[in-house]
Chains A and B, each alone.
Chain A
Amino acid sequence: MKRPFFWLFIGTALSGCYAHPARFSSAPPVRQIKDNALIQRPKVHRLHDAVELPDVYLRRPLVNQLRATAIARALDRNAYDELPSSSWFQPRPLDLDIFHQLTTVKGRPQGDLKILSVSLRHREMVLEDARQVRYILLVDPNQFPHSWSAAGIIAPRLAQAVGYHARETHLWRFDANRFAEPDLKRNAEIFLRRFDGKPVLATAYPGYDLGPTHMSTRRPGDKNDWFSPIDRRSLRALPLLALWLGLRSVGPKHTRDYFIGTPRNGYLRHYIDRLEHSLSLRSPRFVRERVDAVGDVSGNLLKNLWTLGLASRPPSVPGAYDDRLKGFSPRLNPTSYRMGRPYEPADFLRAEDAYWITKRMMRIPRGLIDHFIQESGITDHALRDQLAQTLEARRAILARHWFARVSPMEFVSLGEHLVLADNALVWSLANDYSTRYQVSFLDAEGVRLRPDTQLFPKHDSVTIPMPNAPGDYLIVRIQSQRGNHSPPPPAEFHFRLIHRTLKLVGIQH
């Protein structure tokens, strides 16, 4: 063994011969994660530029470049490649009544109200109602009524329809007479006088605010936080949700943890936050940051480096609130989500994660989108239609892009034949006449049981004849091919023989 590197190379090359597919257990897929065991309230997490910025701009790119292993699949998905219910994600029925029942818990502020803080600059007030429920009120800019408030109604509901937790929001007419405090501070007095009778967006606090969700590590002091943020599909795919909803930038400040329960007994729930500045609206906070710091820098980092910054525009200081909902464009580049600053889980986005979230976006019926827009208080019918069409167009662009990067097949039924639906055809994102499928049958070790077959879709699904004696573990591997495009990775459907019947036990896209 005088040449250790030679033998290491030989060993590595030989071990490459030992490849096998995943193997699923016969247990039914997990639909719920029990991550709400009672714990003590953890410490509040704050973001500090001095720590975060060197980390996101220097350490993380360097460390990630020094990793040779492939990005692992998300760990919070179940055997059917879906996300179970958890404190991070809650798939909800898209029936309007049930959806409303599940998402409306606190309602509007009730009884006498107490002011906790006021920011005239941000047009915000934090208050507590008679039930000791906290709300944050946000008033639209004078020149653009139904802007932040409309986005604050529509976007959180759409995020909830996808399955995320988002804070409950309501339109509410601000009533200064309900504040019965004798000694008001000057800012509070001005706020009451200036905005009395105006419609405001009331966002309920679901619990005790623990600050932004950790984006690189599990939260200390929370034993329910099972997976690292970079291994969570819901966080990896977040920029795509932001892209659909027209959130100008997404970053760690857009995810927030709330503690539900008493300080000694409770659990965390993880929310998507600050969605009132979506639908391409700007926020006053955003404007302030752009003034204080160097501001947004357009263009690619490497391009900026080689061109000495001469190709990029200077950071502009926009006029305050110069956007309106009409500017929400149906055109977007499906890969160019812009980050407020690098968001670590997004670095680990895999195609199947993107497929998963675009699929969930596409499942939201147009009727539900229309209803959310109607709830936002927008009275202009043309604007309502435009918003709904824009949301549909944007999700279709995203879905078309990401559905082409996986084999978007879903299980329909299994009898003598296996029937799979092709989601690209279901939502008319591809043509059935240019689509064909390469189907393989494998055993648990990845050995082909019979020669591959080529099949064609019928409408939006494909029917696959199953082998007569498949053994106790069967993998059906199917790869969609559209026209002359290079085929995406195949989808795998894993079956096990349970009580002499083949049962679906796992799906991998």
Chain B
Amino acid sequence: MAKLPSFRPCARLLALSILLANPAVRAQDDDARERESAGSTTVTAEEPEQVSGVEREPRGPFDTGRTVADWFLLIPRGAVELGFIATGTAAGLMEDEQVVPRVHDLFNPRSGQISVFPTLFMETGTDLNAGGRMIARSGPLATSVRVGYGGVRSLVAESRVRYHAAHWLPEVFTLESFHAATSGVSFLGLGQDPANDPRNHFLGSARKGLYDVRQERYIFSYGVRPIEHGEFLLSSSLNQRHLSNGAGTDRMRAVFELRDYDDALRVSRIVYSEASLRYDTRRTRGGPSPGYLAEVYAGYGGELGKTQSTRFAKTGGRLASFTRFGRTAGVLSPKIVVDTISPVGDTNVPFILLPSQSDFRGFNNRRDYVSLVGSLDYRWALARFFAARLFADIATVAPNTRELTLNGLRYAGGVGVDIFSRSTPLGSIATSFSPEGMRLLLRIGLAPTFGDRQHK
């Protein structure tokens, strides 16, 4: 077959001339020109140091000053880095802080993971507590171990095993154990105004008494989510507490008359069972999300191993609404929390079992048989997964519901910022102000109450 004359060289020449007329294409030949100028072919770097070709880095007139300043900032920078060392990855378990996960969470487990997550808690008047939480998950079974250390005065260890099933409805079975040893815990006495409450018998002037506590607690719980927003929880716990007199001149027996609290300063073993219902329409518990929350609970408990044993009943609930504030990204949420405890029969309830008002963000150091905390929060999103809050709390306690009045209310207000995942709060820093002083709260990692499925 005769070979046809080739027009390829002419076509190439024509194409080249068209390309040269186009400035965009001219610029793409820069590399080729650069190569020609250096007389190089393809050079391969075998080591990272070869890549930039720089023998000596440039040095500006301010570089030394910057380096020196950087040295001075090394310690605060290192402190921040240490606070955030994430030694591993956290698992999806943390995203299920809803006691019973929703259906889509059940079908999306992250199996086969072992994760470690640092925790850091601090608040005014307490030691810094640093620790870690390890979470492992395999199929429907998940385990969590938490250890926190705040010096010799404060030690916490907690483990939890959870099994979830979704045969018909989302269900969760949980077994938890908890150990804590804390020294120098303060107790002001009973009532809203302990100094003037006739139930308190002070030795000398009214002041706070100190005690040490060591406790072991085991909880078995079952939860089911019969409807999208509703959970039903049953739990039973065994709680062994050893209360002892604190050290120093402010120890309990040096502050209060012996008859008041001597019976409490001993080892007690309490069995307590509780049923609770929760209806929460918020899409996420982490961010400022609109919705409603209603929760009620009732429980019954008694002491083991004593003829004149303590018997008590607990009831309570909380009601909150989370309403979008106008057309903005802010959510306004009023909330009211009521907790009560009543002795059953002719028995005493140890002061350690009385409601402690943990929802009050001022100094929550009042205890009595009935507690009421009200709050108004305004949370607004600063960025995705990052929100700020303004809050105001009121709190009061009373010997019974009939004596519950709004006289002598304690109040606190403050500001804070939170960080959260799709469904879980991950960290917060807040400051509250009250007539008793300023309280700082810092938390990185999961809340200390994570896994705490019974009302205290």
Contacts and interface: CB of A to CB of B under 8 A. Distances in A.
Contact of B427 (A58, A75, A296, A410): A58
A410 B81 CA distance: 41
A341 B95 CA distance: 18
B interface bracket (residues with beta carbon within 8 Å of A): 35 or more
A15 B289 CA distance: 55
Nearest to A226: B48
A25 B55 contact: yes
Interface centre among B28, B110, B287 (most CB of A within 10 A): B28
Given A66-B77, A293-B385, A413-B33, A75 B58 contact: no
A311 B388 CA distance: 14
A313 B86 contact: no
Nearest to B133: A50
A362 B27 contact: yes
Contacts, number: 287
Interface string A282-302: 000000010111111100010
B27 A410 contact: yes
A32 B382 contact: no
Interface string A6-38: 001000110111111111110111111110000
A457 to B, nearest CB: 14
B52 A295 contact: no
Contacts of A8: 68
A50 B83 CA distance: 15
Contact of B386 (A57, A340, A366): A57
B431 to A, nearest CB: 15
Interface stretch (B1-9, B37-45, B252-260, B265-273): B37-45
Interface in B338-389: 378, 380-388
A94 interface: yes
Contacts of A28: 38-41, 43
Interface in B67-104: 67-70, 72-73, 76-77, 80-81, 83-84, 86, 88-91, 94-95
A293 B284 contact: yes
Summarize B's interface: helix, strand, loop or mixed.
Answer: mixed
Given A29-B40, A30-B43, A297-B383, A412 B419 contact: no
Given A28-B43, A301-B383, A309 B53 contact: no
A interface bracket (residues with beta carbon within 8 Å of B): 35 or more
B60 interface: yes
A364 B444 CA distance: 47
Contact of A32 (B44, B324, B386): B44
A50 B424 contact: yes
B22 interface: yes
27 contacts: A12-B65, A23-B54, A23-B56, A24-B53, A24-B54, A24-B55, A29-B40, A30-B51, A50-B89, A51-B90, A53-B421, A54-B427, A59-B80, A59-B83, A62-B80, A78-B53, A226-B51, A292-B283, A294-B286, A294-B387, A304-B381, A309-B388, A313-B329, A363-B24, A363-B27, A413-B37, A504-B34
Given A51-B89, A69-B66, 8 more contacts: A16-B65, A17-B61, A19-B61, A49-B426, A294-B288, A301-B382, A410-B30, A504-B38
Q: Top 7 nearest A-B pairs by Cβ distance? A: A309-B380, A28-B40, A79-B53, A294-B287, A50-B90, A68-B69, A49-B421
